[in-house]
Amino acid sequence: MTETTGGVELDEEMSGVIKKFMFVNRKAPYGTIYALEGLEVVLISAAFDQDVSLVFLDDGIYQLVKGQHTKAIDVKNFSPTYRALEGYDIEKLYVEKESLEARNLTVDNLIVPVEVLTSAEMAALMTEQDVVISF
């Protein structure tokens, strides 16, 4: 018998469990590392064949804005990665309507196709999830 971990053992096999994972992006792409490291988790989650959704709200909206130029701050522009998500079968991208409007942005300003939801609709979608991880 293996040593217990925190009272229980995580199974070796995940036996094809598919959960609804939602990643909530709330921070601007540069200035802090949350957006970049958050995206790394999203890419890894694709390897686990889960039902993945991405949400962008508050300053997280800026992660998707077209025309990011980061040379002057000597930080890598990782915005093209969002366009690659489709190739990982991550196609559920949601943007909060109120966050867009507060920043005077529209979907035309964004680098990927998204579905726009009101904060009430967003809240409803969140309650349907099994796992919500926010960055």
Partner 1 sequence: MKFGIMVSEGPYTHQATDTAYLFIKAALEKGYGVPRVFFYHDGVNNATKLTEPPQDDRHIVNRWSKLAEDHGVDLVVCVAAALRRGIRDENLAPGFRISGLGQLVEAGIQTDRLVVFGD
* Interface contacts to partner 1, rule CB under 8 A: 3-11, 14, 17, 19, 21, 33-34, 37, 40-41, 44-45, 47-48, 50, 130-135
3-state secondary structure of 58: helix
Q: Which residues make beta-bridge pairs with 53?
A: 22, 92
* Min CB(50)–partner 1 separation in Å: 7
* Min CB(33)–partner 1 separation in Å: 6
Strands 115-117 and 131-134, bridge-based pairing: unpaired
Choice between 50 and 81, CB closer to partner 1: 50
* Min CB(108)–partner 1 separation in Å: 31
Residue 79 sits at the vertex; the CA angle it makes with 81 and 59, to the nearest 5 degrees, is: 125
